[in-house]
Amino acid sequence: MLRIKELNEYDQFIDLREQWNDVLNKSKDDNIFLTWEWLSTWWKHYGKEKKLMILLAEDGEKIVAIAPLMYSIYRLLGFKLRKIEFFAEHTDYCNFILAEKKAESLKLFLKYLDKLSWDCLELREIPENAESITILRKIRGKTQIQNETVSSKCPYIPLSVSWDGFVKELSGNMRRNLRRRMRRLEEKYKVEFKKQNEIDSLQQDMKTFFYLHQRRWQSKGREGSFVADPKFQDFLLDVSECFAEKRWLNLYFLTANNEPISAALCFEYSKTLYYYHPGFDPAYSKYGVGNLLIMHLLQDSIQKGIEKFDFLKGDESYKRDWTPLSRNNLEVRYVRNRLLPILYDRITRSERYDWIKRSNNSFLRKLKHTARTRIHSLVV
């Protein structure tokens, strides 16, 4: 008979390392963002002011399923909103880890969670083809409202057995652009494709990657990931060292006269190359160095027997130049049937939510104050 065990201490999370990945490897939805290495490092950097809530479904002494969750407190118009959610920030794929007795385990997780105090159970970034999605669609709770929405698109490329075969599948315009830009770059510079450790130490290579990533965004007048979130750089340094030990790290550079001009932080796991973060020097943008590096990444991946190149979240135009294929990530949200949670659900699913969140003008301040006053009178 299955039973649920809840873990709330980081030390308990650390002790799960071997069991965690063993359960994950038995799951059909295995991916690098569900590994113990990724999630435990994430919690180390982002778990402050949140409560760890790892649920284990145990069949006797054996763990058959894991729910990597956390309890967070948010503010909505001055009121406290209690949320249970995945470790979704900077994580492209979230999910329950289901190895055995999958439907029974997931139903038991939701039954257990339903007895806890929360306003919103927000399950973001679940791949649409995940087994958990099929099960969740069949489960309807009596004390909450359930919504399913698309949270992001994830382009991907199934790789051919040969580079020549892959190139033939590209559009004629794409092939011509790649050849022309590579030729023009090679006419002026000595161009090389290099991997991490072929340039410097991992720490120095990561600093070079951070620099190129920031240069790309600064050229557009934007902050870039590492300025907008200062903890993100420290997190990636830690997780990259961990992945390097497991041989999951793939940090690539395109160099001109031995100077890195384009970089890509990728992860290799279970026959998939995850294209996590790129960067390039905008002084070389006329050569399309981002795409030239992707070309080398794909060629290297095919030679190594990688079966899928995953662009991860984001439907940027340069990804569509490489592939018409994409999968959706979904958000499944359960909202308690009460005023504040329902209001949160409606506001955050509104097309104008991002604009309202960014805006600071006097009209919106008055609007927020009026809403806050009305909600307070209803809640109190």
- Do 176 and 325 touch, CB atoms closer than 8 A? no
- Do 280 and 263 touch, CB atoms closer than 8 A? yes
Helices (H), the chain: 10-15, 17-25, 36-46, 102-114, 131-136, 163-169, 172-188, 202-218, 225-228, 230-246, 289-304, 317-320, 339-348, 353-358, 362-379
Helices (H), 253-361: 289-304, 317-320, 339-348, 353-358
- Sequence-ordered list of residues with C-beta below 8 angstroms from that of 246, at least 6 positions apart, any chain: 37
pLDDT reading at 84 higher than 70: yes
The pLDDT of residue 369: 45
pLDDT reading at 230 higher than 90: no
Indicate if 160-306 has the same CATH topology as 2-151+331-349. yes
3-state secondary structure 115-168: CCCCCEEEEEEEECCCHHHHHHCCCCCCCEEEEEEEEEEEEEEECCCCHHHHHH
Residue that is written with structure tokens 């790789």 in the block: 159
The pLDDT of residue 330: 97
- Do 93 and 272 touch, CB atoms closer than 8 A? no
Q: Is 357 helix (H, G, I), strand (E, B) or coil?
A: helix
The pLDDT of residue 199: 62
C-alpha torsion sign, points 19, 21, 27, 33: positive
Write out the two tokens for 83. 């949320």
Q: What is the C-alpha to C-alpha distance for residues 144 and 140, in angstroms, rounded to an integer?
A: 8
pLDDT reading at 225 higher than 90: no
The pLDDT of residue 39: 98
Average pLDDT, the chain: 90
362 pLDDT tier (thresholds 50, 70, 90): very low
| Of the listed ranges 58-67, 135-144, 155-164, the one predicted with least confidence | 135-144
Q: pLDDT tens digit string along 287-312?
A: 999 999 999 999 999 999 999 999 99
Identify the burial level of 188 via C-beta atoms within 10 angstroms of its C-beta, where 0-12 means exposed, 13-18 middle and 19 or more buried.
Answer: exposed
**Fold of the domain spanning 2-151+331-349:** Aminopeptidase (3.40.630)
Residue that is written with structure tokens 């919103």 in the block: 120
Q: Write the Ramachandran bin of 125: left for phi over 0, alpha for psi from -120 to 50, otherwise beta.
A: left
Domains of the chain: which residue ranges?
A: 2-151+331-349, 160-306, 353-380
Q: pLDDT tens digit string along 29-53?
A: 999 999 999 999 999 999 998 999 9
pLDDT reading at 160 higher than 90: no
- Sequence-ordered list of residues with C-beta below 8 angstroms from that of 326, at least 6 positions apart, any chain: 153, 154, 155, 156, 315
Q: What is the C-alpha to C-alpha distance for residues 57 and 4, in angstroms, rounded to an integer?
A: 5
Write out the two tokens for 9. 């201490």
- Do 327 and 156 touch, CB atoms closer than 8 A? yes
| Of the listed ranges 8-17, 226-235, 251-260, the one predicted with least confidence | 226-235
- Do 315 and 94 touch, CB atoms closer than 8 A? no
Q: Give the length of the chain.
A: 380
pLDDT reading at 376 higher than 50: no
365 pLDDT tier (thresholds 50, 70, 90): very low
Pick 198 or 343 by higher pLDDT: 343
Other beta carbons less than 10 A from residue 176's beta carbon: 11
Which whole number is the average pLDDT over 261-268? Answer: 97
Identify the CA nearest to 312 among candidates 105, 102, 125, 71.
Answer: 125
- Do 272 and 56 touch, CB atoms closer than 8 A? no
Identify the CA nearest to 145 among candidates 121, 167, 127, 111.
Answer: 121
pLDDT reading at 371 higher than 50: no
Q: What is the CATH number that goes with domain 160-306?
A: 3.40.630.30
Q: What is the C-alpha to C-alpha distance for residues 111 and 133, in angstroms, rounded to an integer?
A: 16
The pLDDT of residue 200: 67
Write out the two tokens for 139. 């489960």
The pLDDT of residue 165: 93
pLDDT reading at 226 higher than 50: yes
Q: pLDDT tens digit string along 330-351?
A: 999 999 999 989 988 888 877 6
The pLDDT of residue 215: 87
Q: pLDDT tens digit string along 269-291?
A: 999 999 999 999 999 999 999 99
Write out the two tokens for 329. 């990530």
Q: pLDDT tens digit string along 87-143?
A: 999 999 999 999 999 999 999 999 999 999 999 999 999 999 999 999 999 887 656
Which whole number is the average pLDDT over 207-223? Answer: 85
